[in-house]
Amino acid sequence: MSNRFYCPTPPREGKFRLDAEESRHLLRVCRHTVGDRVELFDGAGLSYVARVVECGKDAAWLEPEGPPTSDPAPPCLIEIGTAVPKGDRFDWLVEKAVELGVARLTPLITDRSVVDPRGSKLDRLRKTVVEASKQSGRSRLMDIDAPTNLRAFLERSDGLRLLADPAGVSPEGWPAIVRGAVVRLAVGPEGGFTEAERALAVSLGWRPIRLGPNILRIETAVLAGAAAILARCEPGDDQPVH
Burial label for 63, CB within 10 Å (0-12, 13-18, 19+), is middle
Task: Provide the pLDDT for residue 1.
Answer: 42
Q: Among residues of the chain, what percentage have pLDDT more than 70?
A: 95
SS3 sequence, the chain? CCCEEECCCCCECCEEEECHHHHHHHHHHCCCCCCCEEEEECEECEEEEEEEEEECCCCEEEEECCCCEECCCCCCEEEEEECCCCCCHHHHHHHHHHHHCCCEEEEEECCCCCCCCCCHHHHHHHHHHHHHHHHHCCCECCEECCCEEHHHHHCCCCCEEEEEEEEEECHHHCCCECCCCEEEEEECCCCCCCHHHHHHHHHCCCEEECCCCCCCCHHHHHHHHHHHHHHHCCCCCCCCEC
Task: Provide the pLDDT for residue 234.
Answer: 61
Burial label for 219, CB within 10 Å (0-12, 13-18, 19+), is buried
List of the chain residues with pLDDT < 50:
1, 237-242
Task: Provide the pLDDT for residue 87.
Answer: 84
Task: Provide the pLDDT for residue 157.
Answer: 83
Task: Provide the pLDDT for residue 40.
Answer: 97
